[in-house]
Amino acid sequence: MRNKFLASFYSFFLLVLFGCDDQVSSSQKKAHLEDLVKPSSDSKQQEQFTNVEDPVLVLGLVATHCKMNETAYINAKMQKVLRNPSEDIAYKLEPTDNVLSICVAKDDSSLSYRFGRINDIGLEKEATPSAPFGSYYRQVGRIGESILFFSNGEYHYYIINSGGMGSGVTVNVYKNKTLITELFSGNDPYDDFVIATDLNLPKKLVSERQPFNKKMQ
């Protein structure tokens, strides 16, 4: 009688033990299956990120003044260069809302300099066969500089594309022989400036010659 009781108790113990294991295993499988089917918060965030529409930009974070029938040779955010703001600082950059764009018509019929806020151009200058923009290259230490320039009355504008050990777009403005404005994009390609390095400027609208100001030669 005692043996039958022990056998019955042992059978009941095994049933409870393995029955609970099965329930735990089933719960774990169900939870794991729900994780596979239900998208995680990370996947939702990724989906939301990929569905966000980017603003109209040009190969990066730089807006443009160029039109639909034009190709952008240069787009650059412009910051003021403040020289020697204090005794221990050589210069600092002061952000502005201005953007520089050098635009080439897709049929090579025009080459334009545009500067100002988006939809609010402060200055526009167009090269012509009779008054082409100037082009000049110089080496300053380990930095190569390709310079595009033009005059607007007594003001001379120099757009400097720096390469080699340096990078960025500079705009220097002279009134006759005096430097009155110095602007710089910053050093980060696609964030501060974009340059179409494989674009050839129309030869009839650009002529190779020395700049007006000796400091730019």
Which of 40-44, 155-159, 167-171 has the least mean pLDDT?
Answer: 40-44
pLDDT of residue 45 exceeding 80 = no
Q: Cβ distance 172 to 151 under 8 Å?
A: no
Burial of 162 (0-12, 13-18, 19+ CB in 10 A): buried
Calculate what percentage of the chain has a pLDDT beyond 70: 72
**CA 28 – CA 21 distance, rounded (Å):** 10
Average of per-residue pLDDT across 50-74 = 70
pLDDT of residue 206 exceeding 60 = yes
**CA 150 – CA 212 distance, rounded (Å):** 9
pLDDT of residue 150 exceeding 90 = yes
pLDDT of residue 185: 97
**CA 208 – CA 138 distance, rounded (Å):** 12
pLDDT of residue 28 exceeding 50 = no
pLDDT of residue 60: 61
Tokens 């950059």 belong to residue: 93
Average of per-residue pLDDT across 128-135 = 98
pLDDT of residue 41: 41
pLDDT of residue 61: 73
**Is the Cα torsion angle 176, 159, 102, 149 positive or negative in sign?**
positive
Residues 6+ apart with CB under 8 A from 166: 142, 143, 187
pLDDT of residue 5 exceeding 50 = no
pLDDT of residue 35 exceeding 50 = no
pLDDT of residue 170 exceeding 60 = yes
pLDDT of residue 14 exceeding 90 = no
Average of per-residue pLDDT across 105-127 = 97
pLDDT of residue 203 exceeding 80 = yes
Check residues 90 and 32 and name the one with the higher pLDDT. Answer: 90
Burial of 103 (0-12, 13-18, 19+ CB in 10 A): buried
pLDDT bin (cut points 50, 70, 90) of residue 166 is confident
pLDDT of residue 73: 96
pLDDT of residue 52: 35
